[in-house]
Homo-oligomer: A and B are copies of this chain.
Amino acid sequence: MPISQGKQAFPRGEYLRRLEAVKTKMSERGVDMLVVTEPANITYLSGYTALSAYVPQALLISINHEEPTFILRRMDAPAAIHQSFLSRSQIISYPEALVGQSDRDGYDAIIDHILQVDAKWIGLEENHLSAQVVGKFSNRIATARFENCSGVVTWARLIKSELEINYMREAAAIADAAVARAAQVIGPGIREADAAAEIIGVLARGTDGKAGTMVASINMCTSPRTGTGHIPWSDEIFQQGSQINLELGGVRFGYTAGIMRTLSIGEPSDRLKRIHDAEVAGLEAALAVAETGNTCHDVAQAFYATINALGFEKETRCGYAIGIDWLEPTASLQLGDYTVLQPNMTFHLMLGNWVDEDFGYVISETFRVTESSVEVLTKTPRRLFQI
């Protein structure tokens, strides 16, 4: 029996609008076929979110066709039919004989298809393809011209539609609920892993009847590891006096909203209170200038100027564009990034500050740029949570 198309995250018109924008960029470059392999870009242009990118797959955008063609492993084709907006005829699967072999793989099926449709000028997302794969494309499609189109779809994702913003809001509500749960379950004598289980449970359950659609990895950097940024829970027990730097995100249909908060079991140290006050002041200063027409640089400068005046520095950048699969590698909230802010760009204003090997502090918000100012999507109080 055939599988039916499932509930779609977006209406067909939304995908066609996104595809039109990408095709306009393709035309500007002369490219008649774009081979989309970055998983988040495939999600953006089709709705497909299944976790099959560990084998080759590609969404082929032809300048002459309304719908892309999705080529993927046969066992994943039912998921593509179910999840994506694509017509069944646009989903082409390759057989298992191409999996687990050293001399051929799914890219050969993708190339076979491109040879059939006779594309002349082919865009590849080379920044995400190995040298071997790029070489295979150019060797096997010897008559075509190739162009590195790594940023084309990624930059198209920067400004969100209202429908995307709605999912970002729902994702932010899940992130808020998870931080609230953290403040409930973290305490002296509790094992970090047990608290993590409760927090992650919220990320799956979601909130307000909207389930999390995936669990993004969480960082829970507890004393003496508050100088680290990318470590999950441990099997140790929270102690009186422990500090916890928490970073997590809610996810709805791929769209992620991130949040960071710092918790203290017992009275925070003076050092911790001082950096918290400085960072919150910096956060507010950054948000105050995060408006349409200003640049990423302006936001970063407002933050750094504020904390510097209060006696602190932060080496890492202040944040980045956020959307499908968390970080979007486009606009960056840092000095020297002159990307102009426009309505419905969304950012993770990430003010984690790893000051010393054994001391760091974290706070962040996910926000969207509006016509006149910002909408902060995460709503958790900007407190240093004292347990």
A198 to B77, CA, bound (A): 29
Is the C-beta of A24 less than 8 angstroms from some C-beta in chain B?
no
Out of B50, B126, B229, B359, name the residue touching A76 (CB < 8 Å): B229
- The answer to whether A76 and B358 touch across the interface, beta carbons within 8 angstroms, is no
Out of B3, B96, B232, name the residue touching A227 (CB < 8 Å): B3
Is the C-beta of A26 less than 8 angstroms from some C-beta in chain B?
no
**Binary contact readout A95-110 vs B (1 if CB under 8 angstroms, 0 otherwise):** 1100110000000000
Is the C-beta of A15 less than 8 angstroms from some C-beta in chain B?
no
Is the C-beta of A276 less than 8 angstroms from some C-beta in chain B?
no
> Contacts of A54 on B, CB cut-off 8 Å?
327
**What number of copies of this chain does the assembly contain?**
2
With both beta carbons as reference points, the residue of chain B lying nearest to A51 in the complex is identified as B230
In A190-238, which residues have CB < 8 Å from any B CB?
Answer: 191-194, 196-198, 200-202, 204-206, 210-215, 217, 219, 224-225, 227-235
Is the C-beta of A4 less than 8 angstroms from some C-beta in chain B?
yes
Is the C-beta of A357 less than 8 angstroms from some C-beta in chain B?
yes
Out of B127, B192, B212, B358, name the residue touching A193 (CB < 8 Å): B212
A residues lining the B interface (CB < 8 Å): 1-4, 6, 49-52, 54, 74-79, 81-83, 95-96, 99-100, 126-132, 134-135, 148, 191-194, 196-198, 200-202, 204-206, 210-215, 217, 219, 224-225, 227-235, 315-317, 320, 327, 332, 334, 337, 352, 354, 356-359
